[in-house]
Structure 1
Amino acid sequence: MSGTMMYQPLTTGSLIDHAARYHGGTEIVSVETTGGTARSDWATTQANARRLASALDRLGIPAGARCGTIAWNNRRHLEIYFGVGAGGRVTHTINPRLTPEQLIFIADDAGDEVIFFDRTFLPAAAKLCPHFKTVKHAVLMGPRDDEAAGMIEGLLFYDELLEQGDPDYQWPDLDERSAAALCYTSGTTGNPKGVQYSHRSLVLHAFGANQPDGTCISAMDSLLPVVPMFHVNAWGIPYIAAMAGARLIMPGPKLDGESLMNLINDERVNVAFGVPTIWMGLLQALRSSGGKLPLLERTFVGGTALPPSMIDAFREEYGVELIHAWGMTETAPVATLNKLLHKHLELSQDEQRRLRHGQGRPLFGVELRVIDSETGQLQPNDGERQGNLQIRGHWIVESYYGKAENALTEDGWFDTGDIATLDPDGYMVIRDRAKDIIKSGGEWISTVDLENIAIAHPGIGNAAAIAAYHPKWDERPVLICIRAEGSTVEEAELLASYDGKVAKWQVPDRVIFVDSLPIGATGKVQKNKLREKYGRILTEDGA
């Protein structure tokens, strides 16, 4: 007789139950929207998640219903993550930095039946709620608030829902392939598209992303996800933290450098997660205040390319390791992380440093390939030949929410829209976004390379490179920069810093200094807006 193994569905409820059962007293610290800090733990988070699920049952919200959130990283948002998903519904996190038109489109496209929102967003919610087509209940994430009740008809209050809920509520038996969460792309061109994650994909992502060569989170760690919970499930950190039983610090709405510096030190954070612009702000706060980060060991950085100069600054000045990661909404999101191999211990520090500049190797659970953008042929993994980056795996999108058509290539891969190279060990380097890369005289120029050189200059605070129309070469690079505080750097000096770092024909034709760059809803520079404004700056009738 052949042996068999137990089968138990991979659900997000199993994650929060594990955290409560074996790490119930481990602290959840929440910077509140209204000010101050609240302290909870995994056992309380689970009990409140169960209360919420039972309260939604009493409201008549059916299984599979989408429940939207417009909220910061805080304890109530964490409870909603698990209470909605494990309760058989779908947690739909909505990015509050999108335009009102996009917010309405997303809620309507998802068919949200409930909208939870932080008090920060009360004025916006009051304006938006009358336009939502499917929302039956709006819930303020806090106690009863008479002012808010007067602004939105029928408004419910999160804390009152929990008081009515059952802490011993039993999660329903769920198919692990059923939906647990829904996120929409940032929608830089056209309307945003929804990516719906199954319980199975979220649990497998938590396993995969937390390998030793992944985030390597344990119950001894104190985590600070600065990446918003409305941005691709905060990179899966709430689920990973529950699986590991880690201490979790939720930063709330204050994400400026000084606030983060104080929070990291006050709450003994040793691992953090965020986009490069966040760490630029932290670096500036540290340098201007003379502050230190004695307990912070490593931070994972994704969203956009991480400037090598920032890696060096954190390591050399503060003893913090910045680790490059890569993913996107369609990849749940973590797909690669940059960790060295044993053989790399023999390399010099400079050689190791260069390896860390890329986005790293695929985690178990995903595969990558590079396809020539013109011929469609598979490119060799030689670290040199670039092309369209494609991916497949256990937590990769197959089709967009509400769309009948498949989102994959004919042979089952998802095209990421990135231009990349792969080396024989699987190390991947994003050379550019396909829509951003510059083609000058038939040759490619990476905007990422140009930006990294500019940002490494001490006189530059941030920079973006774009393609500008050129009558002879079709496109030429133009650099749009923000000067660092107190800097007087001019164009000639900055362009001189490119000598020996790129070929002469790749050096930008122009440098334009501005006071600010347009930052999108996910913390990325909106190059489409820069191209609209400066795309013809090199012609006689330039902008």
Structure 2
Amino acid sequence: MAVETFEPAQARPVPQAGLMMDFPLTVHHVLRRMQTIHGASKVVTLVDPETGAVTEREFRDVVARAGRLAHALERLGVRPGDRVASLAWNNAQHLEVYLAVMCMGAVLHTMNLRLHGDQLAYTVEHAGDGVVIVESSLGGQLAEVLPQLPGVRHVVVIAEPGEECPELPDALDLEALLAQESSHFPWPEIDERSAAALCYTSGTTGDPKGVMYSHRSIVLHALAMAGADVYGITSRDRVLALVPLFHAMGWGLPFVCGLVGSDIVMPGRHLKPAPLARLIEAQRTTWSAGVPTLWLDLLHHLDSLPQGETPDLSSLQTILCGGTAVPETLVREYDSRFGAEMIEGWGMTEIFPGATVERADPDDSAVETGARRRSAGRISPLYELRLVGDEGTVLPHDGVAVGNVEVRGPSVASGYYRAPAATAAAVHDGWLRTGDVGTIDGSGHLRITDRAKDVIKSGGEWISSQDLEGELIAHPAVREAAVIGVADPRWGERPLAFVVLAAPVTETELKEFLSSRVARWWVPEHFRIVEQIARTTTGKYDKKILRSLVDDDQG
């Protein structure tokens, strides 16, 4: 019997290495640019919503204070790799915490102050936080869960001069700590793939899941977002950061602004429409970002003011809106009233915001512009998206095929922190399952038609709850609308609409309005008029709660 032999494989030559410096992509680069090139740019924080009083710090001073904080944290025993938590609003001090913790090699866990107490405690314990830096106005919230957190060794309070935090009597005062330290901190060299920050998902189903951002992912995301076709922020902008710094790294704004040198305007805890309108007028902000609810509330506030008393918001040029579907009427209102371009973005905690961004193209026809506005945006640099059918088949990018949206790239999570089961369910074949359903056209424009868990299957056909919500909000009497699927003995599921009204309207009028805009079989048989619609901690409609209301009624 012949013995089969094999020739040894030819060894492949080692490819020639490129002759480029191995420059580490770390947050240090952002810090150094803020200290030197953009040292005169400012961080403005609103401190009094009634008078409009603000504090201002130049970037170079923010970096100096971050150096003092790094010294103080080191003296408290924080070492590279340790987790430090922050529970704070958007202000200069929180930005200093960002820079100090990440650049000293520790990991910043931005606590979501809107989580339920049990979930908040879970994230601190799960992260292994040893130090918590908390704003005085949130001291009571931390005090309620602190007995459940034996791993927390120190609590540091951010307080204004003369302000006290009686709920945390043993806490250390931030300013007192900084006063003892030098601003010159020997920032260590850090591997770009090491952890920089930890954010937790909102936990609408099960426990919140931790997303561990690397230095490399943060810098690459900031560089991608700085592009003209993405965020388009320049050194001439004044950026109003309405997105909470605890939400997906504040949509990356601290790092983008730090790189390009734009001023950052922080609202503190004052997110009501009246002080925000005055802040925009006084600071002449040009660029902002936030969920649709904030911008809808601002319009309603302006409409409620007497004629001649409306603040001047004409400085606004660009508004990035995301977190949930953006109503087309909202886009038109800000364009016609203020000349502001409202751009839509899509992302998640696991992939950063801005994985797709939709900007107006002056060369588009009116039809194309309308189609683009219904899009979640064009795929951003350094991201790749695909659609996968229920059977696992990769679907074409033809703008027609509807599938599960999956994503990969250097700013996409490869798994969840200390959660192997959740990682296995979310990541496969090098792609992350987003849980969104949609289409992608040949030019890379993504249209989200629903969350996978929210699509409504009626009579074997799909109904998009997001599309129905957008059409309902287009009615002048409707302020907010959320649509869920409910069981139906004939059709399997039918849509039910929860509606918040701005003016009186009947169900019949709403049905007639929808019939002229969507397929008749999409029109809900039933509407529930409510005073408000429950939302998640990130501003999205909480359909889990809406479904529970229906279940309670049927029970």
TM range (shorter): over 0.9
The residue that corresponds to 2:319 in the other structure is: 299
The TM-score with structure 1 as length reference comes to 0.95
Runs of at least 5 residues in structure 2 that lack an aligned partner in the other structure: 1-15
Cα offset, 1:167, TM superposition? 0.6
**Residue 43 of structure 1 pairs with residue 60 of structure 2:** yes
Pick one of 259, 268, 289 that aligns with 1:273: 289
**Residue 58 of structure 1 pairs with residue 75 of structure 2:** yes
Q: Distance in 2 between matches of 1:52 and 1:241?
A: 21
- Compare 194-203 and 31-40 and name the one that shifted more: 31-40
The residue that corresponds to 2:119 in the other structure is: 102
Q: Secondary structure at the match of 1:494?
A: helix
The residue that corresponds to 1:337 in the other structure is: 357
**Residue 25 of structure 1 pairs with residue 40 of structure 2:** yes
- C-alpha contact 2:136 2:164 (8 A) present in aligned 1: no
**Residue 236 of structure 1 pairs with residue 252 of structure 2:** yes
Which letter maps to 1:80? V
Q: Distance in 1 between matches of 2:150 and 2:78?
A: 16
The residue that corresponds to 1:126 in the other structure is: 143
Question: Per-residue displacement from partner, 1:190-229 (whole Å, max 9, x unpaired)?
Answer: 0000001000100000001111111011111100110100
**Residue 465 of structure 1 pairs with residue 480 of structure 2:** no
Question: Per-residue displacement from partner, 1:171-195 (whole Å, max 9, x unpaired)?
Answer: 1111111111110000000000000
Q: Distance in 1 between matches of 2:282 and 2:161?
A: 30
Q: Secondary structure at the match of 2:359?
A: coil
Which letter maps to 1:477? P
Pick one of 17, 20, 23 that aligns with 1:5: 20
Q: Distance in 1 between matches of 2:76 and 2:49?
A: 27
- How many residues of Structure 1 are paired with residues of Structure 2 in the alignment? 532
Against the structure 1 CA distance between its residues 240 and 146, is the aligned structure 2 distance closer, same or farther, given a 3 Å change threshold? closer
**Residue 477 of structure 1 pairs with residue 495 of structure 2:** yes
| Pairing 1:360-379 to 2, within 5 Å after superposition | 360-373=377-390, 375-379=391-395
Which letter maps to 2:37? Y
Q: Secondary structure at the match of 1:220?
A: coil
| Pairing 1:347-366 to 2, within 5 Å after superposition | 347-366=364-383
Against the structure 1 CA distance between its residues 295 and 146, is the aligned structure 2 distance closer, same or farther, given a 3 Å change threshold? closer
The higher radius of gyration belongs to 2
- C-alpha contact 2:209 2:419 (8 A) present in aligned 1: no
- C-alpha contact 2:414 2:427 (8 A) present in aligned 1: no
Against the structure 1 CA distance between its residues 523 and 409, is the aligned structure 2 distance closer, same or farther, given a 3 Å change threshold? closer
Q: Distance in 2 between matches of 1:451 and 1:404?
A: 36
Q: Distance in 1 between matches of 2:551 and 2:412?
A: 34
Q: Distance in 2 between matches of 1:368 and 1:5?
A: 30
| Pairing 1:309-328 to 2, within 5 Å after superposition | 309-328=329-348
Cα offset, 1:351, TM superposition? 2.9
Q: Distance in 1 between matches of 2:242 and 2:155?
A: 26
Which letter maps to 2:342? L
Against the structure 1 CA distance between its residues 28 and 494, is the aligned structure 2 distance closer, same or farther, given a 3 Å change threshold? same
Q: Secondary structure at the match of 1:113?
A: strand
Q: Distance in 2 between matches of 1:144 and 1:2?
A: 56
Q: Secondary structure at the match of 2:36?
A: helix
The residue that corresponds to 1:116 in the other structure is: 133
Question: What is the RMSD of the two structures over their aligned residues, measured on CA atoms?
Answer: 1.8
The TM-score with structure 2 as length reference comes to 0.93
% identical aligned pairs: 39
Cα offset, 1:34, TM superposition? 9.5
Q: Distance in 2 between matches of 1:78 and 1:7?
A: 28
Q: Distance in 2 between matches of 1:59 and 1:414?
A: 38
Pick one of 443, 457, 480 that aligns with 1:425: 443
Q: Distance in 1 between matches of 2:288 and 2:25?
A: 26
Q: Distance in 1 between matches of 2:353 and 2:130?
A: 26
The residue that corresponds to 2:12 in the other structure is: none
The residue that corresponds to 1:413 in the other structure is: 431
The residue that corresponds to 1:500 in the other structure is: 516
**Residue 142 of structure 1 pairs with residue 166 of structure 2:** no
Runs of at least 5 residues in structure 1 that lack an aligned partner in the other structure: none
